[in-house]
Amino acid sequence: MEEEQVFIFDFGSQYTRLIAKAVRELGVRCRVVPAQSSAERIRRSLPRGLVLSGGPESVYEKNAPQLDPAIYDLKIPILAICYGLQRVAADRGGQVVRGRGGEYGLSTLQLAEPDPIFAGLEPQEPVWMSHGDQLKLLPPGFRSLARSAGVPYAAIRSSDGLIYGLQFHPEVAQTPKGKTIFANWLRDICRIKGQRQPGATLEGRIGALRRQLEGRRALMAFSGGVDSASAAALTQRAIGSRLLPVFVDSGLLRQGDRQRAEQVAAHLGLKLAVVEAQERFFAALSGLSDPEDKRKAVGEAFIRAFEAEARRLEEREGPIEILIQGTIYSDVIESAGAPGARRIKSHHNVGGLPEQLGLKIVEPLRDLFKDEVRQLALKLGIPEEIIWEQPFPGPGLAVRILGPVTPERVALLRQADAILRQEIKRAKLDREIWQYFAVLLPGRSVAIRGDGRGYGEIVALRAVSSREGMTADWYPLPHETLTQISSRLTNELDQITRVVYDITAKPPATIEWE
Ligand code: XMP
């Protein structure tokens, strides 16, 4: 059966993934594709609609990203957002210019005439704008459907009704009726009925995975986080004990991480192999201070430890053909979208290992967003504290120790971090703050030791609010919580004599210190 799907042309907007999310939440399949995809390739897949994303460039600049002009001949409905609208306008004979000061933030959409795409909207609606350029001259055959305070062409439509352009962003939460606009476009313009995807139910997913794996043996790196636990639980239900999850203890984990992973594995009935690799990791890190060198060393050590275990398991269990990865949809977009975007799941992405071991990669969560993974995890019986756990970087505490990483410094940071976590939990802020942790700084600071002076370690506290980690703001911990953390750190851990609080947003800072 031909599947109804929509393609999203990625012009590099930070919101592209939100477009995908909005479409998928309406039950419609979609794929994010490079903006330069050829019309020929698109035609073969018969999508029912094309969304053109926003993007950071200006259409009048020399290297501005283009669209294959033959795309317009396909006669597939197009919804062009922000840069997408400007791209269409420039391609079809309109004029785009740099606006005076641009329009950023909340604005009001004023509808000029009723249109099916705006069914259910009031004559005036709040929308989110983020553009420096604007459409000055409509292309021939287009009309304006709405204006805003800043621009006369906040929404446009071609006379055949196939192309819609929106200067605002319907995909962000700050445009409250954005979802309605997408729903109208998918239903009334693309003529998609809206259907839940096959395999969206738990049983459907398990069945599909069972057919895909056909009882073959599968290896996986299990960290105990919500993604790997969900991928493992699904696969276990599909192929039972032919799933061979491996937990690598790098010695760089937080207090309780390993025990928790073991408990979850036991709870899910997984046959977990635990690899003691602490010495291997500390040896690899020895003498390194540069953050990139440290990341590389940890990645390498992980691959070597995992590989050794894989060979051992093959000898014991028989041939292994599959590598299960807990990659989720945002990881897929992250690595396929903007060039140079960092691969976030560096520790799950076990490098050239699949080829070396002759393994085929299967990613059971590849089409799910984080919140969908969490819903699935609930259905799979994964404990709540795992489901709401904050993100933890693959290289572990190594990126939270500035300068050399030694077993002693890791032990100190682990204790400091545990104190911070206990106090945040006690203050009942653990579900409210997106991410919080302690960082051990390089160098020392002067301290009072008995009657004399000494030098002690410095710990920085980081707490941030964020939606997906792309941007973040520092979280204002209550005064008394900060006081309690500071006094516990310096009283319970002799070496620590100074505690500082990080009050920078991302950007310009990152969340991790490294
Ligand atoms: P930054 O520090 O770049 O981090 O603002 C953004 C988010 O990503 C997490 N992070 C990682 N996660 N492997 C991961 O799985 C990594 O190598 C890695 N580095 C950073 C970070 O904790 C934050 O949530």
What distance in Å separates the CA atoms of residue 29 and residue 43, rounded to the nearest whole number? 16
CA distances from 340 to 291, 337, 343, 476 (A): 18, 9, 9, 32
Mean pLDDT of 383-397: 92
Query: Catalytic pick from 4, 103, 125, 171?
Result: 171
Identify the CA nearest to 246 among candidates 163, 143, 320, 343: 320
pLDDT at 337: 41
- The residue among 424, 212, 429, 409 whose CA lies nearest residue 322 is 212
Question: Which pLDDT score, from 0 to 100, does residue 2 have?
Answer: 53
Q: How far is the CA of 462 from the CAs of 256, 309, 328, 400, 475, in angstroms? A: 20, 35, 26, 10, 8
Q: Is the dihedral of CA 377, 378, 382, 387 positive or negative?
A: positive
Confidence of residue 10 (pLDDT cuts 50, 70, 90): very high
Backbone angles phi, psi at 48, to 5 degrees: -90, -15
Which residues, in sequence order, are CB contacts of 203 under 8 Å at separation 6+?
A: none
Other residues' Cβ atoms within 10 Å of the Cβ of residue 432: 12
Q: Is residue 511 in contact with ligand 1, taking CB distance under 6 Å?
A: yes
Average pLDDT over residues 213-234: 95
pLDDT classification of 345: cutoffs 50, 70, 90: very low
pLDDT the model gives residue 278 = 98
In the predicted model, what is the mean pLDDT of residues 285-305?
A: 94
**From ligand 1's centre to the CA of 216, what distance in Å?**
33
Catalytic site includes residue 171: yes
- The CA distances from residue 54 to 17, 247, 498, in Å, are 11, 41, 46
3 state SS of 350:
coil
**Is 45 touching ligand 1 by the criterion CB < 6 Å?**
no
Percent of the chain with pLDDT over 90: 74
Per-chain mean pLDDT for the chain:
90
Q: Mean pLDDT over residues 439-444, rounded? A: 96
161 vs 333: which has the higher pLDDT? 161
pLDDT at 216 over 50: yes
Phi (first) and psi of residue 256, to 5 degrees: 85, -10
Q: What is the separation of C-alpha 79 from the centre of its chain, rounded to a whole number of angstroms?
A: 24
Q: Where are the alpha helices (DSSP H) in 190-256?
A: 202-213, 226-239
At 129, is the secondary structure helix, strand, or coil?
strand
Report the half-sphere exposure of 38 (CA within 13 A, side-chain side).
3
How confident is residue 79, by pLDDT bands cut at 50, 70 and 90?
very high
Q: What is the mean pLDDT of residues 224-229?
A: 95
393 neighbors 512 (Cβ within 8 angstroms): yes
Cα distance between residue 219 and residue 322, in whole Å:
6
Most confident of 48-52, 58-62, 193-197, 446-450: 48-52
pLDDT of residue 150: 85
Q: What are the tens digits of pLDDT across the range 255-274?
A: 999 999 999 999 999 999 99
Identify the top-confidence range among 149-153, 182-186, 419-423, 449-453: 419-423
Based on the residue annotation, tell me whether 169 is a catalytic residue of this protein.
yes
Q: Could you tell which of 344, 347, 399 is best to mutate to test the pocket of ligand 1, judged by most ligand atoms within 8 Å of the CB?
A: 344
From the CA of 345, give the closest atom in ligand 1. 15
Confidence of residue 489 (pLDDT cuts 50, 70, 90): very high
**Cα(427)–Cα(430) distance, integer angstroms:** 8
pLDDT at residue 197 is higher than 60: no
What confidence tier does 351 reach under pLDDT thresholds 50, 70, 90? low
Considering only CA atoms, give the Rg of the chain: 26
Measured N-to-C along each axis, helices 226-239 and 370-379 cross at an angle, to the nearest 10 degrees, of 50
The more confident residue out of 354 and 203 is: 203
Q: How far apart are CA 168 and CA 170, in angstroms?
A: 6
Please report where in the chains the tokens 């292994």 appear, as a residue.
Answer: 320
Kindly give the distance from the C-alpha atom of residue 74 to the centroid of ligand 1, in angstroms, as a whole number. Answer: 41
d(C-alpha 473, C-alpha 464), whole Å: 5
Atom of ligand 1 nearest to the CA of 435: 24
How far does Cα 283 stand from its chain's mean position?
Answer: 31
**Pocket lining: 296 vs ligand 1, CB cutoff 6 Å:** no
Active site residue 348: no
SS3 410: helix
Alpha-carbon gap, residue 139 to 117, rounded angstroms = 20
